[in-house]
Structure 1
Amino acid sequence: MDNVVAWLLDSIFGTATTDVDSLVNAPGYVDVLRNAAISINDVAVKPLAAVAVAIMVTLALARNAARMEGDRVLGVKIIASTMFGAALTVVVVQNAAGILDGIVQAGDGIIKAVNGLNLGGTEGTQRKLGTEMHDQILKAGFAKQLAMFVVLLFPWMIVTAAGVMAKVLIVVRWFEIYIKAAFAPLPMTFFGNEETRHMAIGYLKSFATSVLSGVTILVALRLFQVVEGLLVDSMPLTQDADAFNFIGMNMVTFLLPPLVLLWLLKSTTSLARAVVGG
Structure 2
Amino acid sequence: MDWVKDMLNAIGSGVDSGILSTMKQSPAEFNSTLYSLSDTIASNVGKPIASAVLSVVLVLQLINAANRAEGDRQTGVKLIGITMIQCAIILAFAQNASLILQTINSIGDWAMGTVDAATSVTTGGGPGNLGDMIGDQHLNPLDTGLAMLLLLLPFLVSKVAGIVVTVVVYLRFIQLYLMAGFSSMPVAFLGNEHTRAWGIGYFKRYTETVFQTVILFLSVAFYQHLDVNHPGKLADGQALSGWIIENFGQLILASVLLIAVVALSNKVAKAIFGE
**Normalized against structure 2, the TM-score is what?**
0.89
Which whole-Å CA distance do the structure 2 matches of 1:125 and 1:205 have between them? 33
Matching of residue 97 in structure 1 with residue 94 in structure 2? no
The answer on whether the counterparts of 1:3 and 1:134 sit within 8 Å (CA) in structure 2 is no
Q: Per the alignment, in what secondary structure is the counterpart of residue 49 of structure 1?
A: helix
Change (3 A) 1:120 1:62: closer
How far does the alpha carbon of each residue in 1:101-126 deviate from its partner, in whole angstroms, 9 at most, with x for none? 11111112111211122458999857
Which whole-Å CA distance do the structure 1 matches of 2:121 and 2:166 have between them? 24
The answer on whether the counterparts of 1:121 and 1:227 sit within 8 Å (CA) in structure 2 is no
Which whole-Å CA distance do the structure 1 matches of 2:179 and 2:239 have between them? 56
Question: Which AA in structure 1 matches 2:21?
Answer: D
Which whole-Å CA distance do the structure 2 matches of 1:60 and 1:126 have between them? 61
Q: Structure 1 stretches of 5 or more lacking a match?
A: none
Instruction: Name the residue aligned to 2:244.
Output: 247
Instruction: Name the residue aligned to 2:24.
Output: 24
Matching of residue 262 in structure 1 with residue 263 in structure 2? no
Change (3 A) 1:44 1:258: same
The answer on whether the counterparts of 1:61 and 1:82 sit within 8 Å (CA) in structure 2 is yes
Change (3 A) 1:54 1:22: closer
Instruction: Name the residue aligned to 1:165.
Output: 164
In the TM superposition, residue 88 of structure 1 has moved relative to its aligned partner by: 2.1
In the TM superposition, residue 127 of structure 1 has moved relative to its aligned partner by: 4.2
Instruction: Map 1:80-119 onto structure 2 (within 5 A).
Output: 80-118=81-119
Q: Per the alignment, in what secondary structure is the counterpart of residue 59 of structure 1?
A: helix
The answer on whether the counterparts of 1:122 and 1:226 sit within 8 Å (CA) in structure 2 is no
In the TM superposition, residue 132 of structure 1 has moved relative to its aligned partner by: 3.0
In the TM superposition, residue 218 of structure 1 has moved relative to its aligned partner by: 0.8
Q: How many residues align?
A: 273
Which whole-Å CA distance do the structure 2 matches of 1:124 and 1:204 have between them? 33
How far does the alpha carbon of each residue in 1:244-276 deviate from its partner, in whole angstroms, 9 at most, with x for none? 211111112111110010122234333322222
Change (3 A) 1:191 1:121: closer
Change (3 A) 1:78 1:257: same
Identity %: 26
Q: Per the alignment, in what secondary structure is the counterpart of residue 192 of structure 1?
A: coil
Instruction: Map 1:188-267 onto structure 2 (within 5 A).
Output: 188-227=187-226, 231-232=229-230, 235-267=232-264
Change (3 A) 1:244 1:178: same
Question: Which AA in structure 2 matches 1:25?
Answer: Q
